[in-house]
């Protein structure tokens, strides 16, 4: 008989939809001993959250997250709110012995992140952070190749995440849809929003970073704040470039901006090892570009591997369609729920959990510290 996993989700925006879709898909494609039940959706405005709950099949709604985390019929709290609410909700959910799935970045900063790690570990509840890019099959394949030692010694890791949606100087900051420009809600700009993904993937693939030197820029210094009605200073980083060193001796080179005209979500990474290089691009998410120096000379060159074979060689793909057919961005969230359930079944630590995500948080702290003070910063280790 299947056990139920009753989900209480807070926030019904972009991630609220992505996660709801994953909860509805997971049982169909990744059968398990758990049945996911969409128990309650929560947001402040009942008139807005009710149609969302009806559309996605949630059994009930709440307008106060504090009530939701206390409900006896909820097993998992899913935090899909702006970053400034992650800690408060997670700590309260842990105190109520709920499992927690929290959106990234884990927190506003490392101090908050540590409180969250302590809270879930003290409560002994399963927890995970939605660094979903780890679960794109081509990215997971990169991890396998690295773990198998195919790359040999790694020299370089470079990543970028480029967008262009905040270039307009009259775009306001704050409130629904624009909280990412408000430092009080977001904690930081592109570093916590976009580079957090790049850093999580990098740490997962290449290990922790030891030191950072960064530069940030805020191109538009003041914007109208939708919540106060006043023109206010912009406190987020619009762009961030940093270099650094990994503990394994390889060099890091990262860039993110929301001012790269023409780019909507250009997330790419490249890893150069002594035997092999790998390159991945979110716009072509099914492909892993591989260069293997050990290939026979006359056919040596970059290979474009379409990661869609339904053999165990290609992660997750045996659960989907026939070989050669692609799945999308949304599937990374389905994979994340499937992996969470597998970890519950096996009694293992679901990854990335809060402790794991805190590694990224500490790199983010180092980035902002370095940019502010103009010097190299040692990254604190978890």
Ligand X SMILES: NC(=O)c1ccc[n+]([C@@H]2O[C@H](COP(=O)([O-])OP(=O)(O)OC[C@H]3O[C@@H](n4cnc5c(N)ncnc54)[C@H](O)[C@@H]3O)[C@@H](O)[C@H]2O)c1
Tell me whether residue 122 or residue 283 sits nearer to ligand X (CB atom).
283
CB of 46 to ligand X, least distance (A): 11
Tell me whether residue 59 or residue 318 sits nearer to ligand X (CB atom).
59
What is the distance between the alpha carbons of residues 139 and 335, in angstroms, rounded to a whole number? 12
Which residue minimizes CB distance to ligand X? 13
Judge whether 316 and 169 are in contact, CB under 8 Å. Answer: no
Number of DSSP helices (H) and strands (E) in the chain, helices first:
11, 17
Task: Name the site residues for ligand X (rule: CB under 6 A).
Answer: 10-16, 42-44, 65, 80-83, 85, 103-104, 130, 132, 177, 179, 193
Instruction: Give me the residue label for tokens 């053999």.
Output: 311
What is the distance between the alpha carbons of residues 280 and 199, in angstroms, rounded to a whole number? 14
CB of 213 to ligand X, least distance (A): 25
Tell me whether residue 15 or residue 117 sits nearer to ligand X (CB atom).
15
Q: What is the phi/psi pair of residue 246, to 5°?
A: -90, 160
Tell me whether residue 182 or residue 193 sits nearer to ligand X (CB atom).
193
CB of 191 to ligand X, least distance (A): 12
Nearest C-alpha neighbor of 281 from the set 271, 295, 294, 270: 270
**Three-class HEC string of 173-185:** ECCCCCHHHCHHH
Residue 141 in tokens: 């394949």
Using omega within 30 degrees of 0 as the cis cutoff, is the peptide bond preceding 105 cis? yes
CB of 274 to ligand X, least distance (A): 32
What is the distance between the alpha carbons of residues 13 and 240, in angstroms, rounded to a whole number? 26
Rounded to 5°, angle at Cα 121 from 116 and 84: 10
CB of 80 to ligand X, least distance (A): 5
Tell me whether residue 10 or residue 213 sits nearer to ligand X (CB atom).
10
Tell me whether residue 107 or residue 278 sits nearer to ligand X (CB atom).
107
CB of 349 to ligand X, least distance (A): 20
Residue 103 in tokens: 């959106």
């Amino acid at each position: 008989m299947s056990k139920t996993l009753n989900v209480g989700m807070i926030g019904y925006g972009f991630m609220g939809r992505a996660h709801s879709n994953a909860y509805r898909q997971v049982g169909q494609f990744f059968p398990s001993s758990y049945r996911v039940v969409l128990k309650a959706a929560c947001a402040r405005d009942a008139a807005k959250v009710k149609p969302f709950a009806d559309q996605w099949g949630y059994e009930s709604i709440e307008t106060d997250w504090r009530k939701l985390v206390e409900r006896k019929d909820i097993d998992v709290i899913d935090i899909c709110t702006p970053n400034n609410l992650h800690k408060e909700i997670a700590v309260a959910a842990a105190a109520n012995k709920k499992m927690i799935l929290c959106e990234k970045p884990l927190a506003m900063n490392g101090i908050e992140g540590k409180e969250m790690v302590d809270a879930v570990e003290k409560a002994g509840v399963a927890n995970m952070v939605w660094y979903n890019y780890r679960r794109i099959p081509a990215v997971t394949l990169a991890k396998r190749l690295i773990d198998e030692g195919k790359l040999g010694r790694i020299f370089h890791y470079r990543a970028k995440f480029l967008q262009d949606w905040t270039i307009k100087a009259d775009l306001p900051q704050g409130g629904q849809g624009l909280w990412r420009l408000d430092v009080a809600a977001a904690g930081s700009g592109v570093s916590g929003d976009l580079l957090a993904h790049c850093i999580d993937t990098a740490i997962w693939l290449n290990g922790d970073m030891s030191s950072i030197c960064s530069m940030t820029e805020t191109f538009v210094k003041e914007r109208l704040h939708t919540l106060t009605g006043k023109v206010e200073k912009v406190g987020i980083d619009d762009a961030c470039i940093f270099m650094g060193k990994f503990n394994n001796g390889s060099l890091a080179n990262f860039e993110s901006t929301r001012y790269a005209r023409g780019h909507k979500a250009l997330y790419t990474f490249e890893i150069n090892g002594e035997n092999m290089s790998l390159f991945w691009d979110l716009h072509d998410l099914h492909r892993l570009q591989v260069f293997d120096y050990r290939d026979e000379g006359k056919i040596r060159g970059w290979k474009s591997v379409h990661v869609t074979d339904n053999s165990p060689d290609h992660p997750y793909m045996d659960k989907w369609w026939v070989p050669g057919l692609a799945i999308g961005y949304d599937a990374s969230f389905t994979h994340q729920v499937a992996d969470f359930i597998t970890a519950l079944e096996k009694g293992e630590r679901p990854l990335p959990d809060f402790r794991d995500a805190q590694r990224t948080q500490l790199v983010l702290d180092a980035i902002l510290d370095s940019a502010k003070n103009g010097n190299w910063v040692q990254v604190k280790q978890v």
